[in-house]
């Protein structure tokens, strides 16, 4: 039986506005690891390809490798967080993240880089999956969607600044310096983590063995309503990461933008994501998270189709491509928070496991999207446009299946 226990929280909410703002800041930092680990080195990818003696398609697999680690790693951290609390598992993950970043900086070829990207991802995903579970520890369904949207507005600073900062680092240092900078970010986040309270006290932790908890993923996968939310999120993120893995080559190699200008263009696109997250946080209470999710999926489908057209015909050149990519990226603000909060609402006592499963679907789909875009890379942006169009249509198809149901209390 499902239980929506909005009235039950792990602990009293932060006692002051200042403490709640700091909690949100730290959670935003943890969620930012989902993007900063890739966005910061996007401007370096064409140069890294030459320095490591590999092809564009092969280097794009470093994004796919990261997503593989990020997807499957979440399936581990979710039950661990439900069993042992949130903070200690996140701390262990941050240590693994820093070890992976160090290995990336010291890599001598693309094979080593791919391997350390997996380790980097397994560590980074602990903070992402358990930060979302911490939100569910403290808030109910629609409030959780609003809080997640607010956090994603904050965390959007990472992709907003990431490529620009990465481009600036390349002006004064080689590509390896980007990964050393990530080590420093991981260390600062680790220190900040222990300034916030544990949100899952001992009496609310799962008593299941980890083996039983891992086996229970099968039951979650069979939940049709959960999988509809997962499908809407997963299809959308296949397109997101097709764009992330291909955009630097599309802008820099095909349209001849400098790495620094590419960073600026990427940052402008992220402003749209911040705007839709801001709007969602304020509109979700009025219209409901399901309706906002459907609106975002429809926007993703339309912008994806436009992108496929402009990349096939070169209509509008770099401006046409950028505008349609910006619109597709902006829909993240409506799709992600609402899909995740919808899934978490049905399983509040298993927030870690459900958050992990949604994250695995989210980033596992990203593996597929980035790998397909890399496999069919032909020196033009067209393969990226086609993958994003198909992804947007798939997200809309899944979102259209959502029906508001009465939950058991």
**Domain spans of the chain, in order of start:** 18-207, 223-402
Which pLDDT score, from 0 to 100, does residue 159 have? 62
Which pLDDT score, from 0 to 100, does residue 155 have? 64
Which pLDDT score, from 0 to 100, does residue 35 have? 77
What gap in Å lies between CA 70 and CA 74, rounded to an integer?
A: 6
Closest CA to 41 of 171, 177, 207, 151: 177
Which pLDDT score, from 0 to 100, does residue 13 have? 54
CA distances to 64, 279, 340 from 283, in Å: 34, 6, 17
Closest CA to 362 of 335, 397, 393, 322: 335
CATH 1.20.1090.10 fits 18-207, yes or no: no
Asked if 284 contacts 140 with a C-beta cutoff of 8 angstroms, the reply is: no
Topology, domain 223-402: Growth Hormone; Chain: A; (1.20.1250)
CA angle 130, 235, 383 (to 5 degrees): 125
Which pLDDT score, from 0 to 100, does residue 348 have? 66
Ordered mean pLDDT values, 10 residues apiece, the chain (409 residues): 41 58 85 80 82 78 82 87 90 96 91 93 90 81 74 66 81 91 94 88 81 82 90 95 85 86 78 83 87 96 97 92 94 90 78 84 85 85 94 96 56
DSSP string, 66-97: HHHHHHHHHHHHHHHHHHH-SHHHHHHHHHHH
Q: Torsions phi, psi of 198, nearest 5?
A: -70, 130
Mean pLDDT across the chain, nearest whole number? 84
Burial string for 115-145 (b: 16+ CB within 10 Å, else e) reads bbbbbbbbbbbbbbbbbbbbbbbbbbbbebb
CA distances to 25, 166, 179, 270 from 297, in Å: 28, 31, 34, 17
**Dmax of the chain from CA atoms?**
60
Closest CA to 74 of 116, 121, 139: 121
- pLDDT 10s digits, 208-227: 788 887 887 888 888 888 99
Chain-centroid distance, C-alpha 5: 26
Q: Tell me whether the CATH fold assigned to 18-207 matches the one assigned to 223-402.
A: yes
Burial of 112 (0-12, 13-18, 19+ CB in 10 A): middle
- pLDDT 10s digits, 237-254: 999 989 988 888 888 888
What gap in Å lies between CA 79 and CA 356, rounded to an integer?
A: 8
């Amino acid at each position: 039986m499902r239980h929506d226990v909005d009235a039950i929280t792990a602990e009293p909410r932060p006692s002051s506005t200042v403490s709640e703002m700091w909690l949100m800041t730290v959670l935003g930092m943890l969620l930012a690891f989902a993007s900063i680990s890739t966005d910061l080195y996007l401007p370096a990818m064409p140069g890294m390809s030459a320095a490591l003696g590999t092809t564009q398609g092969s280097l794009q697999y470093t994004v796919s490798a990261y997503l593989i680690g990020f997807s499957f790693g979440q399936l581990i951290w979710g039950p661990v967080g439900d069993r042992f609390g949130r903070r200690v598992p996140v701390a262990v993950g941050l240590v693994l993240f820093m070890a992976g970043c160090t290995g990336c900086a010291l890599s001598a070829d693309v094979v080593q880089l791919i391997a350390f990207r997996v380790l980097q991802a397994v560590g980074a995903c602990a903070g992402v999956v358990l930060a979302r579970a911490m939100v569910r520890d403290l808030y109910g369904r629609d409030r959780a969607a609003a809080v997640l949207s607010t956090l994603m507005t904050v965390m959007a600073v990472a992709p907003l600044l990431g490529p620009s900062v990465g481009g600036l680092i390349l002006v004064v240092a080689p590509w390896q310096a980007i990964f050393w900078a990530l080590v420093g970010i991981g260390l600062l986040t680790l220190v900040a983590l222990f300034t916030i309270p544990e949100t899952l006290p001992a009496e609310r932790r799962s008593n299941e063995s980890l083996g039983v908890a891992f086996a229970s993923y099968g039951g979650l996968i069979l939940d049709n309503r959960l999988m509809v939310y997962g499908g809407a999120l997963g299809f959308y993120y296949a397109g997101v990461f097709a764009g992330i893995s291909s955009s630097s080559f599309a802008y820099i190699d095909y349209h001849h933008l400098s790495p620094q200008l590419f960073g600026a263009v990427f940052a402008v696109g992220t402003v749209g994501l911040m705007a839709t997250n801001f709007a969602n946080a304020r509109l979700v209470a009025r219209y409901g998270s399901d309706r906002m999710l459907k609106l975002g999926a429809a926007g993703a489908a339309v912008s994806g189709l436009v992108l496929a057209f402009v990349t096939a015909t070169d209509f509008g050149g770099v401006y046409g491509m950028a505008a349609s990519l910006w619109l597709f990226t902006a829909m993240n603000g409506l799709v992600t928070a609402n899909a995740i909060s919808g899934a978490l609402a049905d399983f509040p006592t298993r927030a870690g496991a459900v958050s992990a499963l949604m994250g695995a679907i989210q980033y596992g789909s990203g593996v597929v999207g980035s790998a397909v875009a890399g496999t069919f890379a032909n020196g033009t942006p067209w393969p990226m446009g086609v993958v994003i169009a198909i992804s947007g249509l798939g997200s809309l198809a899944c979102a259209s299946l959502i029906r508001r149901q009465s939950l058991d209390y």
